[in-house]
Structure 1
Amino acid sequence: MEASLDNASELPDAVPPDTSVAGTGYTTPTFLQALIDADILIPTGVDGIYGRSGVYEAIAEGMNALVTQAGADQHAEVLRFPPTTPRKDFEDSEYLKSFPHLAGTVHSFCGNERDHFRLLERLEEGEDWTDQQRPTRVVLTPAACYPIYPVMARRGPLPPEGRVVDVFSYCFRHEPSLEPTRMQMFRMREYVRLGNAGQILAFRQMWIERGQALADQLELRHMLDVANDPFFGRGGKLVADNQRDQKLKFELLIPVNDGAPPTACMSFNYHVDHFSTVWTLRTSDGEKAHTGCAAFGIDRLTLALLRQHGLELGQWPKTVRAALGGI
């Protein structure tokens, strides 16, 4: 494990979650309450879904621009997709095999006039009307990189040097929480590498170093550790253990939430040939392509900055504000 701190115990002390969000009746960490009191996050009545203030957005936009600057020499192809993906591609990705509890589907009313009348009756009576909705052909994007793999596969074999793609999107994961870093809708910025194993491993190591340098530039206390995804089901632990044993995923952890371990704000992933098994991603010599990505949680990094530097931008270190575009 590489780390900027000797061990996790040196991270800022956790504060017991001892305050409540007004009107919810829930006990919640003090940091979330402070964000709400300062009108930086605006509660909507649904845990993990917030409005954001101008101050919050200025930090997030500065953070995104800083990631762009860090990757300028990659000459990446820029692709932007809406926060939805075709249901067929989603099913092919095998996401439901590992993370069914996080998936979000898009449903719409597809009935006739009589069905509409029935829906209105239920709405008027305060009864459940959702069975009048039917699945559409799109689902909510769970990770920014997912839409690009079928697109790359349709282009045919990769060039000898492989490809680097820059993607950014709102993502959805159904995990309602009072931890401000565990939003249901959040922004993810990624650089995705497609090529052979050597190219992917070199890319990942480069971004691990750049991610740590970026955190240092922002004066964020952090540590790097081997990690695994939260796989679901009886075999989930075995898959997670295998991922950790092979060191396929590293996370840059930053203390943000009260009474909780440090939060993963960046991740550096080696997918091996998973996506080329799902889609026909091939290298220039016809072999299965390998893929990897460096992912930056824009909202988590924004919250980490607010937690470590305070809610008043005027009191932040001048070098940090300058790095974020002079906010």
Structure 2
Amino acid sequence: MNKVSDGLAILDSDHTELLDTLDSVFTEWALKAGAKKISPPPVYRVAQLEKFDVYDNFPHLALVAGPLRPADESRPDAHRFHPGKLADAHLGLPTATCFGAYLFFEGMRVPSSALVTLANHCFRNEEYFDGLRRLLSFRMREIVALGTYEHTRNVIEDFKARIEAFLGELDLDFTSEAATDPFFDREGGRALLQRLQEVKREFTVDGLAIASVNTHRNFFGERCGITVENGSSHAFTSCVAFGLERWVSVLVDRYGTAAKAAEVARSAALNTGSD
């Protein structure tokens, strides 16, 4: 049985096996598409996340960390540390996995069709928590494209089709809906462009978004100084995101047990050429 409390989950062996099975499927999609694996840290400097307007766009979700002040009495009070015992919080906990890809390529020139995959623990200070559906700390696998606009759009279209086929094989009743993305200025050209052109599509099961495809144009390329080889323009980016515990939740709801859901997931991967 899982241990879930206050937005934090410890998965039992069956649920862990299901999560690992799903992550393997998504990772295999990325590798077959030519992606390289990279490994991000669980936290970043606030200065790094600040580049992406995280604290402007997601202040309600953001979590930060800092060291305790050296003192004779450094134990917590009522199971928490009060502000006076904390030094400045200079570490930021990521709300999304893809940040690691942009920071990895910061200041670099990339091929016109770069593709990487990475997974990380993400953290969101949600208004409420709900089992594995909505957690404070959760795992997210992402596939990130960098390069030309055409490349980033092609990756999005490819993985949209993969996700829809996989959901169909899993016999999950899903919707695919356009959504908005806060990684654009609220005013000006980018805001207008977002209204005219779809930049985010979510795949939802039982009212829960379990995957999304996102295009950010050259926002992250500009913020991180990432340029495309054989040219001076900033790289365009797009990403495909999978909230792993959310997938676990909807599959267990559908099939009753994590063991049965893992069996179905493996079969669906074979039937869609994902294995």
TM-score norm. by structure 2 comes to 0.86
Q: What corresponds to 1:105 in structure 2?
A: 64
Contact 1:90 1:139 in 2 (8 A): yes
Q: What corresponds to 1:163 in structure 2?
A: 114
Contact 2:140 2:241 in 1 (8 A): yes
Q: What corresponds to 1:184 in structure 2?
A: 136
Q: Residues 317 and 188 (structure 1 numbering): CA distance in 2 closer, same or farther, change over 3 Å?
A: closer
Query: Displacement, 1:173?
Result: 0.7
Q: Which whole-Å CA distance do the structure 2 matches of 1:60 and 1:147 have between them?
A: 21
**Corresponding residue pairs, total:** 267
Tell whether 2:20 aligns with 1:42.
no
Q: Residues 42 and 282 (structure 1 numbering): CA distance in 2 closer, same or farther, change over 3 Å?
A: same
Q: What corresponds to 1:149 in structure 2?
A: 102
State the one-letter code of the partner of 1:98. N
Query: Displacement, 1:90?
Result: 0.9
Q: What corresponds to 1:290 in structure 2?
A: 236
SS in 1 for 2:98: coil
State the one-letter code of the partner of 2:216. H
State the one-letter code of the partner of 2:169. Q
Tell whether 2:215 aligns with 1:270.
yes
Bigger shift: 68-77 or 196-205?
Answer: 68-77
SS in 1 for 2:109: coil
Q: Which whole-Å CA distance do the structure 2 matches of 1:92 and 1:276 have between them?
A: 11
> CA offsets per residue over residues 2-43 of structure 1, 9 Å max, x none?
xxxxxxxxxxxxxxxxxxxxxxxxxxxxxxxxxxxxx2x313
Q: Which whole-Å CA distance do the structure 1 matches of 2:135 and 2:50 have between them?
A: 23
Q: Can you give the 5+ residue segments of structure 2 that lack an aligned partner in the other structure?
A: 271-275
Contact 1:83 1:169 in 2 (8 A): yes
TM-score norm. by structure 1 comes to 0.73
SS in 1 for 2:115: strand
Q: Which whole-Å CA distance do the structure 2 matches of 1:49 and 1:240 have between them?
A: 35
RMSD: 2.9
Residue 173 of structure 1: which of 124, 138, 143 is its match? 124
Q: Which whole-Å CA distance do the structure 2 matches of 1:148 and 1:308 have between them?
A: 33
Q: Residues 134 and 317 (structure 1 numbering): CA distance in 2 closer, same or farther, change over 3 Å?
A: closer
Q: What corresponds to 1:299 in structure 2?
A: 245
Q: Which whole-Å CA distance do the structure 1 matches of 2:79 and 2:30 have between them?
A: 51
Contact 2:129 2:136 in 1 (8 A): no
Query: Displacement, 1:128?
Result: 6.1
Query: Displacement, 1:205?
Result: 0.6
State the one-letter code of the partner of 2:53. E
Tell whether 2:43 aligns with 1:84.
yes
Q: What corresponds to 1:129 in structure 2?
A: 82
State the one-letter code of the partner of 2:237. T
Q: Which whole-Å CA distance do the structure 1 matches of 2:158 and 2:167 have between them?
A: 14
Query: Displacement, 1:301?
Result: 0.7
Q: Which whole-Å CA distance do the structure 1 matches of 2:23 and 2:60 have between them?
A: 28
Q: Residues 129 and 166 (structure 1 numbering): CA distance in 2 closer, same or farther, change over 3 Å?
A: same
Query: Displacement, 1:202?
Result: 1.1
Query: Displacement, 1:197?
Result: 1.0
Q: What corresponds to 1:5 in structure 2?
A: none
Q: Residues 206 and 126 (structure 1 numbering): CA distance in 2 closer, same or farther, change over 3 Å?
A: closer
Tell whether 2:20 aligns with 1:61.
yes
Contact 1:227 1:244 in 2 (8 A): no
Query: Displacement, 1:130?
Result: 3.5
Query: Displacement, 1:58?
Result: 0.9
State the one-letter code of the partner of 1:149. Y
State the one-letter code of the partner of 2:212. S
Larger of the two Rg values belongs to structure? 1
Q: What corresponds to 1:74 in structure 2?
A: 33
> CA offsets per residue over residues 222-272 of structure 1, 9 Å max, x none?
1211012478xxx59xx88963542100011111xxxxxx11111000001
SS in 2 for 1:276: helix
Tell whether 2:91 aligns with 1:138.
yes
Q: Which whole-Å CA distance do the structure 2 matches of 1:196 and 1:230 have between them?
A: 22
Tell whether 2:156 aligns with 1:204.
yes
Q: Which whole-Å CA distance do the structure 2 matches of 1:138 and 1:166 have between them?
A: 23
Q: Residues 127 and 61 (structure 1 numbering): CA distance in 2 closer, same or farther, change over 3 Å?
A: closer
Q: What corresponds to 2:146 in structure 1?
A: 194
Q: Which whole-Å CA distance do the structure 1 matches of 2:226 and 2:63 have between them?
A: 26
Tell whether 2:176 aligns with 1:224.
yes
Contact 1:228 1:240 in 2 (8 A): no
Tell whether 2:214 aligns with 1:247.
no
Q: Which whole-Å CA distance do the structure 1 matches of 2:258 and 2:35 have between them?
A: 35
